[in-house]
Amino acid sequence: MTTLTSPAVPTPRAGILDIAAYVPGRDHAEGVERVFKLSSNETPLGPSPKAIEAVKASAASLEIYPDGGASLLREAIGKRYGIDPARIICGTGSDELLALITNAYIGPGDEGVFSRHGFLVYKINIQGAGGVPVVADETDLTADVDKLLAKVTPKTKIVYLANPNNPTGTYLPFDEVKRLHAALPSNVLLVLDAAYAEYVRANDYASGLELALTAPNVVMTRTFSKVYGLAALRLGWMVGPAAVIDALNRIRGPFNVNAPAIAAGAAAIADDVHLAAALAHNDEWLPKLTREIEAVGLKVTPSVGNFILIHFPETAGRTAQDADAFLLKRGLVMRAVKAYELPHCLRMTIGSAEANERVIEALRDFMRG
């Protein structure tokens, strides 16, 4: 029955239409045949051959529902990190786990805190749950513990920290993460998003696994999309207190992770040789690209991930937008990061040696004019 005040069509909850949808990295360049996609932090090495074999084998039984508990994968992750599989939940990308955790802990009017240039999905999830996104300023494009803590109120339910952060590539030393956790009220959940943890070589870094296993209010999310090269399968995992895992298991889809993903993830996480090769490539190119791009006169934020944030001048003809268009013509697809309040920057994924060399050459030409 309609009343005079009812809308004529089904209407999303308040706030849903205020959400700026996530825009994924572009994957093509108009009129260019050979494209190097450096816009989504995918690995140039691809997945482990063992993961590919596992996906092929799983194709033989696509009519069967997957194991709803993803036991094979949770056990493989547990074995790799020495974790009780009961403390692990898997998801369709860590994106799904971030959404589940937000939906479970944030309701209308509740606040979720994250840092100014933090991963955009947090804001989208908070808004989607009817909550209030609260932004804390950063210092030198790095999350700032004191500024995050200053934003915590009695309404705060979650503090999100991408460590390292995308798109800046900066990180907080583990001592700082512990300081943040120690100062948070015990009813506030600290979400440590460690999507790029494998790449980090800094001695003072830790993913947060230790905290997620010991504290009652900390979870850590991880992904198979980056160093493991399984982005197309959408696979992530989370470690946390038993009570949090229990809550998420109640609201997730009954078969939220598909069978090829379960099989591939279990094979990938056991392939140390492939992981070492992917890390060696990044270890070589991250400093080299940073150096070479700085040598053409551009600033690069020091990164610990598999991507770099390049800063461009504001002068006409030399802007980030100009550079993006220039690079695109050569098939070099970067990520514009205006939505992260970084309008003068482009984010570049560490690509293959060929892609990286081409970017260096193109940026040299671009800056010469």
Enumerate binding residues for ligand PLP (CB under 6 A). 41, 93-95, 119, 162, 166, 193, 195, 223, 225, 231, 236
**Element (DSSP H or E) covering residue 259:** helix 259-269
Nearer of residues 164 and 330 to ligand PLP, judged by Cβ = 164
Under DSSP, the state recorded for 5 is: T
Burial class (CB in 10 A: 0-12, 13-18, 19+), 316: exposed
Q: Min. distance of Cβ 230 from ligand PLP in angstroms?
A: 9
Nearer of residues 166 and 217 to ligand PLP, judged by Cβ = 166
Q: Min. distance of Cβ 254 from ligand PLP in angstroms?
A: 20
Q: Min. distance of Cβ 63 from ligand PLP in angstroms?
A: 27
| Best CA proximity match to 118, nearest among 167, 184, 159, 172 | 167
Nearer of residues 102 and 166 to ligand PLP, judged by Cβ = 166
Residues linked to residue 37 through DSSP beta bridges, in sequence order: 333
User: Is the Cβ–Cβ distance between 304 and 200 less than 8 Å?
Assistant: yes
Q: Min. distance of Cβ 260 from ligand PLP in angstroms?
A: 15
Angle at the Cα of 245 (from 239 to 251), degrees rounded to 5? 130
Q: Min. distance of Cβ 166 from ligand PLP in angstroms?
A: 3
Distance separating alpha carbons of residues 22 and 213, to the nearest angstrom: 31
Nearer of residues 119 and 366 to ligand PLP, judged by Cβ = 119
The CA-atom distances, in angstroms, between 245 and each of 26, 117, 213, 239, 251 are 34, 28, 12, 8, 10
Nearer of residues 199 and 366 to ligand PLP, judged by Cβ = 199
| Residue 228: partners with Cβ closer than 8 Å, 6 or more residues away | 43, 47, 48, 51, 265, 268, 269, 275
Sign of CA dihedral 346, 235, 195, 238: positive
Q: Min. distance of Cβ 265 from ligand PLP in angstroms?
A: 11
Nearer of residues 47 and 93 to ligand PLP, judged by Cβ = 93
Q: Which residue has the tokens 């997945």?
A: 47
Of all residues in the shown chain, the one whose CB is closest to ligand PLP is 93
Nearer of residues 306 and 362 to ligand PLP, judged by Cβ = 306
The token duo for 303 is 């990164």
Q: Min. distance of Cβ 231 from ligand PLP in angstroms?
A: 6
